[in-house]
A = this chain, B = another copy of it.
Amino acid sequence: MLNIEKALVICAHPDDEVLGLGGTIKKMTNAGVEVNVLMFANGNEGYTDLKDKEHIVEIRRKEREAVKDILGIHTYEAYDYGDYAIPANETTYKMCLQAIRKYKPDIVFTHYWREYNTHKAVASIVSDAFWQAGWNASLDLGEPWKAKSLYYFEVIELLAHVSHIVDIEATFEAKMEAMRAYASQCTVVSGALQQIEGKALMRGAQAGVKYGEAFLKSIDKPEVVR
């Protein structure tokens, strides 16, 4: 699964990439994989004190920069949608098509459809764009690119089915550090760090390793076996 050159992560909010696959990102970048991240929301709702309302977007931008260094992410492509305002429409769909054609990833990671509204919207457009990016059409969005596989990660809801568990023992501490770097969000979601640890332990236990991250490989589009 991870024996690749390039990966593209498309998520909704700043911190979803850490919660969902922070350990796997670090594992990949440690191994020399180029990991690019596209995120739609600017984090504007994630403040716990009214006086932070004006600054929260800037705060989260800085946090994201720190996370970039911690996880070794190559590029963050970050957009300015509000946290509750990511639509599944022509504009966002084309952003996904364009990103896949630009970064030419071997594999794509995104949200699972059974999450809440904006995560669901991202899951839906990425699932379709993953496939349509390979069509011989819409050439102004870049040359057609067929990524090999699409994986769903888990943030809010546990995956109903898990096809892969990645051993993240060696990078678990980096995941925790990245989450701590998203300091503003550790107060929004109470017990965020404990949740990360509990989930990593449980997914690890299912795989017979210390810490794990769970993924579901999409089975919507067939792979051709020659």
Residues of A within 8 A of B (CB): 1-2, 45-50, 53, 82, 84-85, 87-90, 93-94, 116-117, 124-125, 128, 131-132, 135-140, 158, 160-167, 187-191, 194-195, 197-199, 201-209, 214, 216-217, 219-220, 222-226
Contacts and interface: CB of A to CB of B under 8 A. Distances in A.
A187 B136 contact: yes
Given A47-B139, A135-B189, A222 B198 contact: no
A61 B194 CA distance: 38
A88 B93 CA distance: 15
A162 to B, nearest CB: 4
A225 to B, nearest CB: 4
Contacts of A206: 195, 198, 222
25 contacts: A46-B137, A47-B137, A48-B136, A84-B93, A116-B128, A116-B132, A136-B188, A136-B189, A136-B190, A160-B160, A161-B220, A163-B219, A164-B223, A194-B201, A195-B202, A195-B206, A198-B201, A198-B205, A198-B206, A201-B202, A202-B202, A207-B222, A209-B226, A216-B219, A217-B219
B117 A1 contact: no
Instruction: Give the number of times this chain occurs in the complex, counting copies.
Output: 6
B224 A50 contact: no
Given A128-B116, A222-B214, A137 B45 contact: yes
B94 A84 contact: yes
A187 to B, nearest CB: 7
